């Protein structure tokens, strides 16, 4: 369709040969890896024939026909579908990092299926697509609602997608912890598994994927116009909103249909188009075509790797979702190197609008927050449910109650303060109201170490875990610094590096989830922030650390005010930009690590507290830091209290509660305060 | 015959601030008009309303005597072309591919590109002097060439009207003059209606048939260059004491006291 219009002249730009060569190589390796284990049982000809027939007399032949062949077919089909969907998504949003995974669509689909499993299991039997599509639409709707007022700048959209992914993941987890007995089998499914035992799923998927792919191709020419920006595209007569909406709907349908069948196969939709583009696919037609092909090859390779790992790992299942995430991470890092100049990211000029609510006196706000905090502490110490009824603990008995309620409460408050400050630092440094330690991957680094510890089965005690997690956070930070140094610690590159780290963490998580058992639940408890594990010494140590860092922050207030003015302005005012950024990053990461070991990597406090401070009228850096710290502390104090009493005598992880409450606030607050 | 564009009692408010207030103007077909005014006077907003990029808070907008709403989006795009102030990076598109996108209003999402389309694309590239660069990526061109590539896309669009938002602001003097001369020549040759937001009064007077000046969202001056290029009128537009010399017929030099 578009090819005839381009009518490339002889001297026009030609496709670099490295593109077809690399992709062919990818396919050959994937096919070889997939077939080699079978070749000692079946002749090559018989193996090919397994796609349509089998020999009843010979068991390997039956196995190949009903297990291997459909698995290969479905991997290729899904990979192609997701690759195409990813390329279309990138074109819709003009965003080199957009994909069904990063926009939260896959998490949404998973959420939909979980809900349906719990509340309307009949619906799943009727059509698994419906629940997944509804969930996917919910996720993308939330992302769009979040970013509508902020402009669709690439990084903002991705961050909103991550927030939604975390949020829906937390919802999923909450149901899992409350009604675990129902969802056991969703563990493996949720982690993405392509294991097949007949041809039916493939035959069901095939027509759906084909129809959606054709519909996407029909939209190709209007999609090409989107490259010119909203103004020019609509001046050329394209109904931009309609094209975007229609194409996004197709993407959601494609991803949801896949998710409902095989679970979350993360990052194929991101990796395939990025790879195709890096290798030199240039025009829209080329990108769509090569992304599709690359997606198929990538997923086949990832699935084969998962299959091999499962075989080698003595039957403990390694879901395909893990291997795709492991491939996705490096590809994002490659993309990070490829996107040298943010000016080439279309839409980057539409920077997110700041929030400017009217200023309010700091003393008043800080006073109110402190009063609320004291009140929460009092209630938390005194008013609690007993075995028979709720009762007040008199102040004279607080000494005894302290052992049980004190350390965890103190730790929660301090973690909240640390996250509030770290979040403010990061939002200021990146100039993005959606930046936060959770999204920067610093928490993710700590979590990754914990995952590895759990997987290897090493027991180093609580203290050892603390040190290891801090090391993980520092390593994540070090990696970020290495990656970002070339860009002089520019905000966007940092966030993208964080995204890559998050992907690795995700891979580990999926692996643990699929293995299930006590290991999984212990790790999940920590991930979602169970403050009940904190001892008194740890709480006091944390206090000393947070107070020291807070004092240090007072020294860097002015550089922090200058940095958002841009590198040029800041350095011409005499600020050593790179060194200042490094120092601030260090501060932010130590604060984050301290908080992460207590509350887990997934609370939204680092995101919400600074935002709350702005909404409460604190615009200058120092005031925002102070109020954000108080707000963060208050938020986690309340979360900790609620976690203790809501399902008494059981406990919920307070990080999970904070994430749920915070997520809801965030969705509501951002859409409300973005409006003018 | 109705005017090509006609707006009456136009008002635009963003929150509390009135960006445009009671603007009534008519633009004849084939006329080259410059919109003048200092920053924030509402000229870009007026242009965006004409391009149907934003809708006015109140007022009447007519194209060839028909209300804007009566025209479909592709039909509108076949009549009116708009070049935004900051065209985005085009991410690897070649000049020829960019210009080819100008045929979208005529062919739609699925229609085939005919030989006629290819001819028009070639001619647009030729007319803007970009033949040498046809297969270069737009992003690798210099500012002036990039601007011409976008104008070529507008030409391939075969509209009867061009709306240009500060088309020469980012260019050096040589490219400013070249771009305006190109637009001027094309307008004469193809009888195009052109409305451009310009900052340079002297260049505007040199290349346009009519100058319209806005101040604080209202029309403060409207007329041929000979009428506007007067120290009193310019002073009322920009609020600084100014003088004007006529060096030769049709060539004015304005200066600040």
- Look at residue A264 and tell me whether its pLDDT is greater than 80: no
| Strand (E) or helix (H) holding A362 | helix A362-382
**Interface with A, mutate which of B72, B86, B89, B100 (most A CBs under 10 A):** B89
Tell me which residue range forms the domain holding A248: 15-344
Nearest CA in chain A to B76: A237
pLDDT at A344: 35
Query: In angstroms, rounded to a whole number, what is the distance separating the alpha carbons of residues B98 and A84?
Result: 23
CA-CA-CA-CA dihedral for A660, A661, A666, A668, to nearest 10: 110
Angle between helices A577-599 and A461-485 (to 10 degrees): 150
Q: Is residue A72 part of a domain?
A: yes
**pLDDT digit string (tens) for A326-346?**
777 777 777 766 654 443 333
pLDDT at A494: 67
Residue among A7, A237, A344 whose CB faces B118 most closely: A7
Collapsed DSSP state (helix, strand, coil) of residue B253: strand
Query: In angstroms, rounded to a whole number, what is the distance separating the alpha carbons of residues A336 and A575?
Result: 26
Collapsed DSSP state (helix, strand, coil) of residue A513: helix
CB contact under 8 A, A11 and B98: no
The pLDDT of A580-588, averaged and rounded, is 79
pLDDT at A343: 37
Query: In angstroms, rounded to a whole number, what is the distance separating the alpha carbons of residues B201 and B188?
Result: 21
Nearest CA in chain B to A344: B89
pLDDT at A341: 43
pLDDT at A10: 43
User: Using an 8 Å Cβ cutoff, are B59 and B23 in contact?
Assistant: yes
- Please name the residue that has the structure tokens 């040298």: A340
pLDDT at A3: 39
Collapsed DSSP state (helix, strand, coil) of residue A279: coil
Residue among A13, A219, A220 whose CB faces B94 most closely: A13
**pLDDT digit string (tens) for B108-152?**
777 888 899 999 999 999 988 889 988 888 888 888 888 889 889
pLDDT at A454: 72
**pLDDT digit string (tens) for B151-162?**
898 889 888 899
Q: How many CA atoms lie within 13 A of A245 on its CB side?
A: 7
**pLDDT digit string (tens) for A84-105?**
999 998 888 777 777 888 788 8
Which CATH number does B30-57+72-230 carry? 3.40.50.300
Query: In angstroms, rounded to a whole number, what is the distance separating the alpha carbons of residues A634 and A414?
Result: 10
Banded pLDDT at A316 (limits 50, 70, 90): low
CB contact under 8 A, A227 and B102: no
Query: In angstroms, rounded to a whole number, what is the distance separating the alpha carbons of residues A439 and A158?
Result: 10
**Interface with A, mutate which of B72, B97, B146 (most A CBs under 10 A):** B97
Please tell me the distance in Å from B107's CA to the nearest CA on chain A. Answer: 10
- Please name the residue that has the structure tokens 């996407």: A216
- Look at residue B33 and tell me whether its pLDDT is greater than 90: yes
- Look at residue A189 and tell me whether its pLDDT is greater than 80: no
**pLDDT digit string (tens) for A456-483?**
777 666 667 767 777 787 777 777 766 6
Collapsed DSSP state (helix, strand, coil) of residue B137: strand
ipTM over 0.90: no
Query: In angstroms, rounded to a whole number, what is the distance separating the alpha carbons of residues A2 and B242?
Result: 54
Cβ contacts of A229 on chain B, cutoff 8 Å: 84, 87-88
Q: Measured between CB atoms, does B19 come within 8 Å of chain A?
A: no
Banded pLDDT at A228 (limits 50, 70, 90): confident
Banded pLDDT at A151 (limits 50, 70, 90): low
Cβ contacts of B109 on chain A, cutoff 8 Å: 218-222
Q: Is residue A4 part of a domain?
A: no
Residue among A1, A235, A676 whose CB faces B82 most closely: A235
Nearest CA in chain B to A676: B15
Residues forming beta bridges with residue B61, ordered by sequence position = B7
Query: In angstroms, rounded to a whole number, what is the distance separating the alpha carbons of residues A190 and A161?
Result: 18
Banded pLDDT at A302 (limits 50, 70, 90): confident
The pLDDT of A182-195, averaged and rounded, is 60
pLDDT at B163: 92
Nearest CA in chain B to A222: B109
CB contact under 8 A, B84 and A347: no
Please tell me the distance in Å from B162's CA to the nearest CA on chain A. Answer: 11
Cβ contacts of B74 on chain A, cutoff 8 Å: 237
Query: In angstroms, rounded to a whole number, what is the distance separating the alpha carbons of residues B32 and B207?
Result: 8
From the list B135, B138, B123, the residue with the least C-alpha distance to A11 is B135
Cβ contacts of B96 on chain A, cutoff 8 Å: 6, 9, 12
Please tell me the distance in Å from A352's CA to the nearest CA on chain B. Answer: 17
**The domain that contains A62 carries what CATH number?**
1.10.3470.10
Query: Three-state SS string across A489-508, please?
Result: CCHHHHHHHHHHHHHHHHHH
Same domain, A169 and A233: yes
Please tell me the distance in Å from B212's CA to the nearest CA on chain A. Answer: 23
Query: In angstroms, rounded to a whole number, what is the distance separating the alpha carbons of residues B96 and B86?
Result: 20
Residue among A218, A227, A229 whose CB faces B84 most closely: A229
- Lowest mean pLDDT: which of A204-218, A346-360, A587-601, B44-58? A346-360
Residue A323 burial class via C-beta count within 10 angstroms: exposed 0-12, middle 13-18, buried 19 and up: buried
Mean pLDDT of chain B: 87
From the list A532, A497, A518, A507, the residue with the least C-alpha distance to A451 is A507
pLDDT at A7: 43
User: Using an 8 Å Cβ cutoff, are A295 and A79 in contact?
Assistant: yes
Within 10 angstroms of residue A504's Cβ, the number of other Cβ atoms is: 23
Q: Structural domain boundaries of chain B?
A: 30-57+72-230
Backbone angles phi, psi at A652, to 5 degrees: -105, 155
Residue A329 burial class via C-beta count within 10 angstroms: exposed 0-12, middle 13-18, buried 19 and up: buried
Collapsed DSSP state (helix, strand, coil) of residue B42: coil
Q: Measured between CB atoms, does B109 come within 8 Å of chain A?
A: yes
Q: Is residue A358 part of a domain?
A: no
Structure tokens at B75: 């039909």
User: Using an 8 Å Cβ cutoff, are A487 and A563 in contact?
Assistant: no
Residue among A12, A344, A346 whose CB faces B94 most closely: A12
**Interface with B, mutate which of A236, A286, A344, A356 (most B CBs under 10 A):** A236
Query: In angstroms, rounded to a whole number, what is the distance separating the alpha carbons of residues A121 and A125?
Result: 7
Q: Measured between CB atoms, does B170 come within 8 Å of chain A?
A: no
CB contact under 8 A, B87 and A232: yes
Instruction: Say how many domains are in chain A.
Output: 2
Residue B169 burial class via C-beta count within 10 angstroms: exposed 0-12, middle 13-18, buried 19 and up: middle
Cβ contacts of B141 on chain A, cutoff 8 Å: none
Same domain, A599 and A514: yes
Cβ contacts of B133 on chain A, cutoff 8 Å: none
**Interface with B, mutate which of A14, A235, A286 (most B CBs under 10 A):** A235
Cβ contacts of A13 on chain B, cutoff 8 Å: 94, 135, 137
Sequence-ordered list of residues with C-beta below 8 angstroms from that of A283, at least 6 positions apart, any chain: A2, A6, B92, B93, B97
Integer-rounded Cα Rg, in Å, for chain A is 26
Cα distances (angstroms) measured from residue A296 to each of A31, A174, A257, A299: 11, 34, 16, 5
A521-525, B90-94, B216-220: which has the highest mean pLDDT? B216-220
**Interface with B, mutate which of A223, A232, A288 (most B CBs under 10 A):** A232
- Please name the residue that has the structure tokens 């943010």: A342
Residue B8: left (phi > 0), alpha (psi -120 to 50), or beta? beta
Please tell me the distance in Å from B50's CA to the nearest CA on chain A. Answer: 11
Banded pLDDT at A484 (limits 50, 70, 90): low
Collapsed DSSP state (helix, strand, coil) of residue B238: helix
pTM as predicted:
0.77
**pLDDT digit string (tens) for A133-146?**
888 888 888 888 77
Strand spans (E) along A435-581: none
- Please name the residue that has the structure tokens 């990979």: A79
From the list A272, A323, A280, A302, the residue with the least C-alpha distance to A88 is A272
Residue among B52, B100, B135 whose CB faces A12 most closely: B135
Banded pLDDT at A387 (limits 50, 70, 90): low
| Strand (E) or helix (H) holding B226 | helix B225-228
The pLDDT of A364-390, averaged and rounded, is 78
Cα distances (angstroms) measured from residue A470 to each of A445, A451, A547, A602: 9, 14, 18, 16
**pLDDT digit string (tens) for A277-287?**
888 887 888 88
- Please name the residue that has the structure tokens 């007995």: A181
- Look at residue A354 and tell me whether its pLDDT is greater than 60: no
pLDDT at A608: 82
Q: Is residue A355 part of a domain?
A: no
pLDDT at A85: 92
Cβ contacts of B107 on chain A, cutoff 8 Å: 221
CB contact under 8 A, B104 and A236: yes
Residues forming beta bridges with residue B196, ordered by sequence position = B34, B164
pLDDT at A461: 67
Same domain, A319 and A410: no
Q: Measured between CB atoms, does B207 come within 8 Å of chain A?
A: no
Size of interface A-B (CB pairs under 8 A): 107
Collapsed DSSP state (helix, strand, coil) of residue B130: coil
Nearest CA in chain A to B139: A344
- Look at residue B170 and tell me whether its pLDDT is greater than 90: no
Residue A240: left (phi > 0), alpha (psi -120 to 50), or beta? alpha
CB contact under 8 A, A236 and B113: no
Same domain, A217 and A318: yes
The pLDDT of A118-128, averaged and rounded, is 75
Mean pLDDT of chain A: 76
The pLDDT of A608-621, averaged and rounded, is 78
Nearest CA in chain A to B83: A232
Banded pLDDT at A674 (limits 50, 70, 90): very low
CB contact under 8 A, A344 and B91: yes
User: Using an 8 Å Cβ cutoff, are B229 and B54 in contact?
Assistant: no
The pLDDT of A407-424, averaged and rounded, is 86
Residue A649: asked if its preceding bond is cis (omega within 30°), the reply is yes
pLDDT at A442: 77
**Interface with B, mutate which of A15, A216, A223, A228 (most B CBs under 10 A):** A228
- Look at residue A202 and tell me whether its pLDDT is greater than 70: yes
Give 3-state DSSP helix, strand, coil % of chain B, rounded to 5. Answer: 40, 30, 30
Backbone angles phi, psi at A533, to 5 degrees: -85, -5
Query: In angstroms, rounded to a whole number, what is the distance separating the alpha carbons of residues A503 and A526?
Result: 19
Q: Is residue A155 part of a domain?
A: yes
What percent of chain A has a predicted confidence (pLDDT) above 90? 4
Same domain, A401 and A520: yes
Cβ contacts of B118 on chain A, cutoff 8 Å: 7
Please tell me the distance in Å from B244's CA to the nearest CA on chain A. Answer: 37
Cβ contacts of A238 on chain B, cutoff 8 Å: 73, 104
pLDDT at A185: 56
pLDDT at A292: 92
Angle at A23 between CA A18 and CA A29, to 5 degrees: 125
Same domain, A423 and A308: no
- Look at residue A675 and tell me whether its pLDDT is greater than 50: no
Banded pLDDT at A549 (limits 50, 70, 90): confident
Structure tokens at A530: 């169970």
CB contact under 8 A, B92 and A239: no
| Strand (E) or helix (H) holding B60 | strand B58-63
Q: Is residue A361 part of a domain?
A: no
Q: Measured between CB atoms, does B84 come within 8 Å of chain A?
A: yes
CB contact under 8 A, B89 and A232: no
Q: Of residues B164 and A567, which shows the higher confidence score?
A: B164
Q: Is residue A64 part of a domain?
A: yes
Q: Is residue A674 part of a domain?
A: no
Query: In angstroms, rounded to a whole number, what is the distance separating the alpha carbons of residues A550 and A587?
Result: 9
CB contact under 8 A, A5 and B103: yes
pLDDT at A180: 60
Query: In angstroms, rounded to a whole number, what is the distance separating the alpha carbons of residues A596 and A445?
Result: 10
Cβ contacts of A237 on chain B, cutoff 8 Å: 72-78, 104-105
- Lowest mean pLDDT: which of A86-90, A181-185, A233-237, A423-427? A181-185
From the list A475, A611, A632, A463, the residue with the least C-alpha distance to A546 is A632
Q: Measured between CB atoms, does B139 come within 8 Å of chain A?
A: yes
Angle at A447 between CA A443 and CA A450, to 5 degrees: 150
User: Using an 8 Å Cβ cutoff, are A90 and A154 in contact?
Assistant: no
């Amino acid at each position: 369709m578009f090819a005839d219009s381009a009518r490339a002249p002889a001297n026009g730009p030609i496709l670099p040969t490295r593109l077809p060569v690399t992709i062919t190589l990818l396919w050959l390796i994937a096919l070889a890896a997939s077939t080699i284990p079978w070749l000692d049982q079946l002749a090559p000809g018989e193996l090919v024939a397994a796609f349509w027939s089998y020999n009843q007399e010979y068991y390997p032949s039956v196995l190949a026909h009903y297990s291997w062949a459909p698995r290969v077919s479905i991997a290729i089909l899904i990979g192609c579908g997701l690759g195409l969907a990813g390329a279309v998504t990138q074109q819709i949003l003009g965003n080199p990092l957009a994909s069904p995974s990063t926009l939260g669509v896959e998490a949404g689909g998973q959420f939909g299926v979980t809900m349906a499993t719990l509340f309307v299991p009949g619906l799943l039997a009727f059509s698994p697509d419906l629940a997944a599509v509804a969930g996917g639409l919910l996720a993308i709707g939330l992302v769009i609602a979040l970013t509508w007022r902020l402009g669709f700048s690439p990084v903002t959209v991705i961050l909103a997608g991550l927030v939604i992914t975390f949020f829906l993941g937390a919802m999923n987890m909450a149901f899992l912890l409350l009604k675990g007995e129902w969802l056991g089998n969703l563990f493996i499914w949720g982690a993405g598994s392509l294991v097949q035992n007949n041809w039916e799923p493939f035959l069901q998927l095939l027509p759906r994927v084909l129809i959606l792919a054709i519909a996407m191709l029909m939209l190709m020419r209007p999609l090409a116009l989107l490259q010119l920006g909203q103004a020019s595209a609509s001046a050329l007569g394209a109904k931009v909103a309609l094209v975007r909406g229609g194409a996004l709907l197709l993407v959601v349908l494609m991803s949801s249909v896949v998710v409902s069948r095989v679970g979350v196969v993360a990052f194929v939709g991101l990796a395939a188009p990025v790879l195709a583009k890096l290798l030199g696919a240039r025009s829209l037609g080329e990108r769509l075509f090569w992304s599709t092909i690359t997606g198929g090859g990538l997923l086949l390779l990832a699935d084969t790797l998962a299959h091999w790992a499962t075989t080698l790992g003595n039957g403990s299942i390694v879901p395909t979702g893990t291997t795709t995430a492991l491939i996705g991470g490096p590809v994002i890092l490659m993309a990070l190197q490829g996107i040298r100049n943010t000016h080439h990211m279309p839409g980057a000029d539409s920077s997110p609008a700041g929030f400017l609510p009217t200023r309010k006196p700091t003393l008043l706000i800080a006073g109110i927050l402190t009063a609320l905090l004291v009140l929460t502490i009092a209630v938390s110490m005194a008013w609690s449910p007993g075995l028979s009824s709720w009762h007040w603990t008199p102040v004279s008995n607080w000494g005894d109650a302290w052992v049980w309620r004190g350390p965890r409460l103190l730790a929660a408050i301090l973690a909240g303060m640390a996250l509030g400050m770290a979040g403010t630092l990061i939002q200021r440094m990146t100039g993005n109201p959606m930046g936060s330690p959770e999204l920067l991957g610093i928490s993710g680094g700590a979590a990754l170490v914990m995952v590895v510890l759990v997987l290897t089965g090493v027991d180093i005690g609580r203290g050892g875990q603390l040190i290891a997690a801090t090391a993980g956070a520092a390593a994540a930070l070090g990696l970020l610094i290495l990656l970002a140094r070339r860009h002089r610690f520019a905000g966007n590159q940092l966030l993208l590096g964080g995204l890559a780290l998050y992907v690795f963490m995700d891979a580990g998580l999926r692996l643990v989830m699929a293995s299930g058992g006590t290991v999984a639940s212990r790790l999940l408890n920590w991930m979602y922030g169970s403050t009940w594990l904190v001892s008194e010494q740890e709480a006091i140590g944390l206090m000393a650390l947070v107070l020291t860092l807070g004092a240090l922050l007072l020294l860097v207030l002015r550089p922090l005010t200058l940095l958002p003015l841009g590198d040029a302005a800041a350095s011409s005012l005499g600020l050593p930009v790179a060194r200042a950024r490094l120092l601030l990053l260090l501060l932010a990461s130590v604060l984050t690590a301290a908080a992460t070991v207590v509350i887990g990597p997934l609370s939204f406090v680092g995101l919400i507290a600074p935002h709350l401070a702005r909404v409460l009228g604190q615009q200058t850096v120092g005031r925002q830091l102070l109020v954000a710290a108080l707000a963060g502390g208050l938020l986690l104090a309340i979360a900790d209290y609620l976690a203790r009493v809501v399902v008494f005598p059981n406990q919920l992880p307070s990080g999970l509660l904070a994430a749920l409450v915070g997520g809801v606030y965030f969705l509501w607050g951002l859409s409300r305060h973005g409006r003018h | 015959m109705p005017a090509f564009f006609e707006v009456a009692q136009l008002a635009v408010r963003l929150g509390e601030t009135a960006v445009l207030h009671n603007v009534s103007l008519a633009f004849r077909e084939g006329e080259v008009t410059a919109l003048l005014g200092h920053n924030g006077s509402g000229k870009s907003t007026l242009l965006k309303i004409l391009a149907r990029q934003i809708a006015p808070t109140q007022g009447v907008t007519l194209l060839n005597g028909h209300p804007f709403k009566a025209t479909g989006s592709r039909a509108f795009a076949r009549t009116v072309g708009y070049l935004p102030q900051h065209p985005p990076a085009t991410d690897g598109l070649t000049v020829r591919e960019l210009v080819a996108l100008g045929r979208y209003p005529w062919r739609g999402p699925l229609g085939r590109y005919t030989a006629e389309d290819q001819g028009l694309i070639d001619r647009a590239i030729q007319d803007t002097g970009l033949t040498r660069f046809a297969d270069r990526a737009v992003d690798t061109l210099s500012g002036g060439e990039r601007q011409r590539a976008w104008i070529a896309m507008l030409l391939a669009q075969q509209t009867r009207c061009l709306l240009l938002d500060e088309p020469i602001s980012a260019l050096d003097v040589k490219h400013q003059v070249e771009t305006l001369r190109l637009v001027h020549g094309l307008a004469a040759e193809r009888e195009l209606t052109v409305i451009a937001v310009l900052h340079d009064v002297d260049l505007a007077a040199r290349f346009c048939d009519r100058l319209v000046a806005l101040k604080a969202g209202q029309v403060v001056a409207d007329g041929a260059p000979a009428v506007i290029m007067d120290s009193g009128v310019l002073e009322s537009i920009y609020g600084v004491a100014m003088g004007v010399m006529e060096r030769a017929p049709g060539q004015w030099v304005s200066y600040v006291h």
